Structure formats: structure tokens, C-alpha cells
Amino acid sequence: MATRTIAGKTVQVNDEGFMTNPSEWTKEIGVEIATEEGIATLTDAHWKVIDYCRSTAPSLNGKSPTLRQITTGTNISTKELFALFPKGPAKKVAHIAGLGKPEGCV
């Protein structure tokens, strides 16, 4: 398993750069990955979504929730999520929150 150093901490990551051990995550790591993803400042709304994903991940085998689960759980609309995390909100939040990306079923 590959490792990389983010915000001064060495963490395990997969081929796509997603962290594989959610417990290694810190808020500082979240801020640094967000910057890499092109989000310069994490606002309260960003944190609301990140915190929600972190809180539900244990019940989803460490994976981040789907877009629909996020909109239902946070009352933030899909349109707003695309404004907060442009291009792919579900994947982007998963990356920033140190979680596995949401997986689809066959």
C-alpha cells in the first residue's frame, strides 16, 4: 500500500490517492487535500458536509456516503453541493474527508 505525507503526517493511500485508513485523517489533512482539489477555503457549509460524511462512514464500511445520502442527511441540495465541491461532489468530499469513494453496485 502506498503512503504519502499530507500536512506533515504520513498516511496510507490507494492508487487514486484516496486515504485507506479513516482514523489517520486530521482536519489539517482535509484542508490540504481541499487545496489540492482547488478549494482554497473550507467554509462552515463545507465542514457540515465533511463532518456528515465522517460520521456516517463507520456504518458504510469506511466508504463515503452517496450524493443522495448526503443531500438527505445534511439538507444541502445537489446544486449547492456542486457549488461547494465542483465537478464531482461525492468523490471530492470522500477524498477531502479521508474516506473511500462511494462505490456503486453491479
Residues noted as catalytic = 105
The Cα 100–Cα 52 span in angstroms is 14
104 near another protein, rule: CB under 8 A: yes
Cβ pair 66, 53 in contact under 8 A: no
14, 35, 86, 98: residue in contact with another protein (rule CB under 8 A): 86
56 near another protein, rule: CB under 8 A: no
Burial class (CB in 10 A: 0-12, 13-18, 19+), 15: exposed
Cβ pair 64, 53 in contact under 8 A: yes
Q: At its nearest, how many Å lie between another protein and the CB of residue 56?
A: 11
72 near another protein, rule: CB under 8 A: yes
Positions in the binding site for another protein (CB under 8 A)? 66-69, 72, 78-79, 81-82, 86-88, 91, 103-106
